[in-house]
Amino acid sequence: MQYDVLVIGGGVGGGSVALNLASRGFKVAIVEERDWGGTTINRGSTPKRALLASAETHFRMTQLVKDVAPLSWSEMASHSAKVVLAANQRYGNNLVNAGITTIEGHATFVNSNTILVHGQRYQAKTIVLATGARPRKLEFPGSQYMEHSASFLKASNLPDKITIVGAGIIAFALASIATEAGTKVTIVQHNRMALRIFDQGLVQTLISRLENAGVVFKFDNTIQNITELSSGSYQVTTNQDQFETKAIYCVAGRVPNTEDLNLSVAGVKFGPLGIKVDERLKTSNPQIFALGDCCDAPVPKLSNYAIYQGKYLGNNLQKPVQFPIKYPTPALTVFSIPKLGQVGISTQKAADKPELEVKTMDIKNWQTYARNGDDLAKLKIIFNKGNQQIVGAEVLSQDADQLVDYLSLLIQQHVSADDLQQQLFAYPSQASDLYGIWQSR
């Protein structure tokens, strides 16, 4: 069967490019071997945010009133499952309604323009690889007892004592959700670094908040073995400690899905970081492109980047001249309690730029944060000393995700203090609080 474009991978990145091309009249087919919507919708951001919604609501209530009823994990899980199912169905329907051919199964290359799925051959002049990534496996005695974040996010019941291996974005989100649900959490990290790309002062404040909530951090601990006990619990032995837990979730990174595709027959080169692409997301085969977690583009492996790359390819494929991808102001958030957000230039990078100034602001008394009892709210804003434009920020607060999105617009549009004063926002709101960024200087 012949198509204009074949997309391998039915996640949010693959769907982004497929829907964009279909809207432009291209004949498109998309292949998915597991769940439509990929990791993001089924085993990642969507269930994580659904569970976090319950946990955040509970946390906010405890900040404002006494004697808040405990959370029910079964009710949280039921709500999350409904959200995921609806998102999955909506995603699949969007593909079908756009006239895209959906193919279920594992794809392998036959040659540079032909793939094989369940014995059926499909051809296209252009192929886009969006196969995503999978959890990294750690190997040591008893490592088979470890589960991954997907198991946590889909659990109908959560043990009262769990261990999380890793100290990155996913670890802090899972720890926050579980702690608010009444579970005792231990985080094991092989070195002393947590959330390494974020402002370490804000990270330490977040760690202290979680420690006060009962989370135990074991830094500089490398797991040596895990033993299953007769009680059904597990004994974890590290290079420094030994303790019992009832479940272990490994979130120590992900590896790109590049094996079993037979990429070599298509002339596609790949390495440990994924499929090799240039600044146009083109692989070593000029008719094959790659995006998202499966490629080695030098950007964070996050859903928003995969979606943006999909839009870029959808707008540029088949054009006689393809311009290099240009990423907008980066914005990302750790969905912990409270959240940790970053936009534009980080405080770490700003420290090496004499033309920039970092201003730390205690914003807990700003209206948005005061009325929500957000007593840890803090903002670090990076200004250009010359024109006073904002070029970056890092924030710790319950609403950090919203604030970094507002700031992203200001940075992207090069808004100055005078420009902002010409805007009229609803009051009181988080947007109207933005006036305080300059008034506090």
* Known binding-site residue numbers: 253, 293
Sign of CA dihedral 255, 259, 263, 269: positive
Q: Are strands 242-245 and 234-238 parallel, antiparallel or unpaired?
A: antiparallel
In terms of Cβ atoms closer than 10 Å to its own Cβ (0-12, 13-18, 19+), residue 192 is exposed
Structure tokens at 113: 């323009």
Total count of residues recorded for the chain: 441
Among 326, 288, 316, which Cα is nearest to 16's? Answer: 316
Return the H-helix or E-strand segment holding 152.
Answer: helix 149-154
CA 359 to chain centroid, in Å, comes to 27
Is 387 exposed, middle or buried (CB count within 10 Å of its CB: 0-12, 13-18, 19+)? exposed
Distance from C-alpha of 255 to C-alpha of 264, rounded to nearest angstrom:
19
Tokens, residue 67: 């004697």
Q: From CA 22, how far away is CA 321, in angstroms rounded?
A: 20
* 422 Cβ contact partners less than 8 Å away, ≥ 6 residues apart: none
Nearest alpha-carbon partner for 438 in 370, 369, 357? 357
Task: Spell out the long-range contacts of 92-95 with Cβ–Cβ below 8 A and sequence spacing 24 or more.
Answer: 92/36, 92/37, 94/15, 94/19, 95/10, 95/15, 95/18, 95/19, 95/30, 95/36
Annotated binding site for FAD: 293
Other beta carbons within 10 Å of 98: 15
Q: Pick out the residues of the known binding site for NAD(+).
A: 253
Closest CA to 31 of 123, 106, 119: 106
